[in-house]
């Protein structure tokens, strides 16, 4: 251990044997002091680590709770979206027949409904709007899609389903799309694919 100049001078005045003993004692005191500081710091570090581990555990618990609440919220919003979609479909079943009569001269002879079309063994395509109609003596199938907010991807999916079921329904198919809202580009896109677009506000009250 280092000594100050004054201590060093005092040690030089002592008997060599006594001086050696004093130096050994001083070195031992310094060693024990350093060990004591090291143990104290180590204990403090242990406490910090313990607090951090407990904080991490609490954070994980809070995160798990938040994820659960988020999942529940998504499920509730999903259920709400389905409900809104079904309301739109139910309105379409009643509101479409007079509009189809006006625009295409077709008479709905079988109530419009939500149904499935079998395209293969245990393979089905869900159809939001399906029903039979007639123009003079010609049989026509009304096939429709309902979306609360129509997007281009919805139109693409509907066209894909139409292609699947086209050969399975005898007679002409009249495709329609019903929505609460659609942007101008989406409206144009529907027209380019010969889809008749109806908005909910057009339905007779």
DSSP 168: G
- In three-state secondary structure terms, 190 is helix
User: pLDDT tens across 160-198, in order?
Assistant: 999 989 888 888 999 999 999 999 999 999 999 999 999
How many other C-beta atoms are found inside a 10 Å radius of the C-beta of residue 146? 26
107 or 23, which is more confident: 107
For residue 104, the model assigns a pLDDT of 95
**Domain 95-202 CATH class label:** alpha beta
Write down the pTM of the prediction: 0.60
- Rounded to 5°, the CA angle 97-116-205 comes to 25
Average pLDDT over residues 69-76: 66
Please provide the average confidence, as pLDDT, over all residues in the chain.
Answer: 83
- pLDDT surpassing 70 at residue 7: no
Lowest mean pLDDT of 37-51, 101-115, 149-163, name the range.
37-51
- pLDDT surpassing 50 at residue 80: no
Beta bridge mates, 145 = 177
- pLDDT surpassing 70 at residue 158: yes
Distance CA 127, CA 114 (A): 6
User: pLDDT tens across 84-127, in order?
Assistant: 558 899 999 999 999 999 999 999 998 899 999 988 888 899 99
């Amino acid at each position: 251990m280092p000594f100050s100049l004054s201590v060093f001078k005092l040690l030089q005045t002592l008997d060599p044997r006594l001086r050696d003993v004093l130096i050994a004692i001083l070195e031992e005191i310094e060693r024990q002091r350093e060990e004591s500081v090291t143990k104290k710091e180590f204990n403090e570090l242990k406490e910090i680590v313990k607090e951090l581990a407990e904080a991490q555990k609490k954070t994980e618990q809070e995160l798990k709770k938040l994820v659960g609440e988020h999942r529940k919220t998504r499920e509730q919003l999903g259920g709400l979206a389905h409900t809104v979609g079904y309301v739109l479909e139910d309105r379409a079943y009643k509101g479409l027949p007079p509009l189809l009569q006006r625009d295409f001269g077709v008479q709905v002879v079988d109530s419009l409904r939500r149904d499935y079309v079998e395209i293969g063994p245990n393979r089905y395509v869900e159809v939001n709007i399906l029903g039979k109609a007639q123009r003079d003596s010609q049989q026509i199938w009304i096939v429709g899609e309902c979306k609360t907010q129509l997007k281009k991807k919805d139109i693409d999916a509907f066209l894909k389903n139409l292609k699947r079921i086209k050969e399975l329904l005898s007679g002409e198919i009249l495709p329609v799309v019903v929505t609460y809202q659609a942007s101008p580009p989406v409206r144009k896109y529907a027209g380019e694919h010969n889809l008749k677009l109806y908005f909910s506000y057009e339905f007779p009250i």
